[in-house]
Amino acid sequence: MPLISFERLDESAGPLKLKPWRRIFRDKDHGWSPLLFVVYLGFFFVDPVMNHASLKLWLLDILAVLVFLALYFGLFVLENPRALVHIAGMMLLGILYLPINGGACTFFIFAAAMVPFCVSSQTAAILGLVTIGSIGAVEGLLLRIPRWGLFYTSLFPMIIGAGNSFFAERNRMHSKLRKANEEIETLAKMAERERIARDLHDVLGHTLSVITLKSELAGKLIDGDPQRASKEIREVEEISRQALSDVRDAIRGYRSRGLVAEFAAAKSTLETAGLTVQCDAATTVKLPAVQESVLSLALREAVTNVVRHAQAHTCRMRLEQQNGSCRLQIQDDGCGASNGEGNGLRGMRERVEMLGGSLDRNTDAGTTLTITLPLKDIATQYEGHEN
């Protein structure tokens, strides 16, 4: 008899929205193989055919087959530990029918073939196989069956089960790997949602603040200086279009504007809000794209906070390179509120710390926000990704 390879329905795949018996043949891991294995039941009918069994024995054999089929197909739809009850049922059929039908050793073989897939470890599988083999050997000796019959009731089931233990262990490893991949995918989706949430907050928060400022300014100028009011309204339109582009960029995960352009936009926004601006940005600082993007978003969020909350008159922005690090500082002479971090500042800190940098917020005299990023380490990582 060839090796029976039995693979249980993967428990990690979750319940299928199919009737139990239809689920057996729709499962992608099995297909129609459960029906193929039923062919081995033919050995159970060899003895009654060769010995010209009576009608009574034929009816008993058919009853055994019906009970076995219920136990067999039930293994494909049941979860542990109820599956072990079906294994025990197959063994009971073998014990009851072996005295009247030598082909009942088939039930021992099926039980041994399925045990490795119905337990959680190889140790449990070995224990189950030894138990089945011992029961078959004891009954064979008590019935004084021939040596070949004793082989098929004890040793052969253990050989079949030992072979299937390899496939069962492989299935368990695949199941663990599948679960790990699903967890990684879930975490990646969560991280992506958080990134998009941070980016949209920074992009829209800054842009809507600028639109509000320019709209208010245009409203004040519309009677006294219509030409300048018209200019402000046109800029509102341009900013709105840029905001749409920025939102698309945030979803795609990159920024098309550089840090120099961000400094210019920040200076324009602060001046529109009526602040005196001093900008000292070192143009010689060369940054990888990911680091430049983080500093651009940080600058944008910081300027938004100055306009919204600082009530400042002056603001100084400074970008410099010192001691192998890039240092961005935004300082204002506003009220210097010391309240807790909001979503924008929290997202800013998360981005900076992910790149190995630090963010310091001092509110003793106005607000001073200092962001430091390591240039050498980040550049090395960036080059590694490029390669």
pLDDT for 59 equals 93
What domains can be seen in the chain, in order of their start residue? Answer: 11-185 (no CATH), 256-387 (3.30.565.10)
pLDDT for 77 equals 67
Most confident range (mean pLDDT) of 167-181, 216-230, 279-293, 307-321 is: 307-321
- Which residue, 73, 97, 92, 91, is CA-closest to 8? 73
First to last CA, the chain: 56
pLDDT per position as a tens digit, 83-134 = 788 888 999 999 999 999 988 889 999 999 888 888 888 888 889 899 999 9
**What is the per-residue DSSP string for 275-312?**
-EEEEEE-TT----HHHHHHHHHHHHHHHHHIIIII--
* Residue 376 exposed, middle or buried by CB count within 10 Å (0-12, 13-18, 19+): exposed
Higher pLDDT, 233 or 16: 233
Q: How far is CA 336 from the centre of its chain?
A: 42
Residue 34 has pLDDT above 50, yes or no: yes
DSSP 322: E
Q: Which amino acid is at 30?
A: H
pLDDT for 316 equals 92
pLDDT for 178 equals 81
Count CA atoms within 13 Å of residue 370 on its CB side.
Answer: 9
Residue 135 has pLDDT above 70, yes or no: yes
**Residue reference for tokens 């749409």:** 244
Mean pLDDT of the chain: 78
pLDDT band at 203 (very low <50, low <70, confident <90, very high): low
Percentage of the chain with pLDDT > 70?
78
Higher pLDDT, 172 or 14: 172
Residue 190 has pLDDT above 60, yes or no: yes
Residues constituting the chain:
387
Helix (H, G, I), strand (E, B) or coil at 77: coil
pLDDT band at 329 (very low <50, low <70, confident <90, very high): very high
Q: What pTM, to 2 d.p., does this model score?
A: 0.46
Helices (H), the chain: 20-26, 33-37, 46-50, 55-74, 82-97, 105-114, 122-143, 147-150, 156-224, 226-252, 259-272, 289-305, 343-354, 375-386
pLDDT for 33 equals 61
pLDDT for 386 equals 41
Most confident range (mean pLDDT) of 42-46, 204-208, 241-245, 338-342 is: 42-46
For strand 358-362 and strand 367-374, is the pairing parallel, antiparallel, or unpaired? antiparallel
pLDDT per position as a tens digit, 1-16 = 434 444 444 443 343 3
pLDDT band at 18 (very low <50, low <70, confident <90, very high): very low
CA distances from 4 to 34, 319, 347 (A): 11, 71, 57
Q: How far is CA 131 from the centre of its chain?
A: 40
Q: Which amino acid is at 351?
A: R
**What is the per-residue DSSP string for 251-283?**
HHT--SS-HHHHHHHHHHHHHHTT-EEEEEE-T
Q: In the chain, how long is the greatest CA-to-CA distance?
A: 117
Distance CA 74, CA 72 (A): 5
Please count the other Cβ atoms lying within 10 Å of the Cβ belonging to residue 180.
10
Look up residue 338 and give its two tokens. Answer: 């010391």
Look up residue 88 and give its two tokens. Answer: 């025990």
Cβ atoms of 320 and 281 closer than 8 Å: no
pLDDT for 119 equals 83
Lowest mean pLDDT of 182-186, 248-252, 316-320, name the range: 248-252
CA-based radius of gyration for the chain: 37
Distance CA 66, CA 145 (A): 26
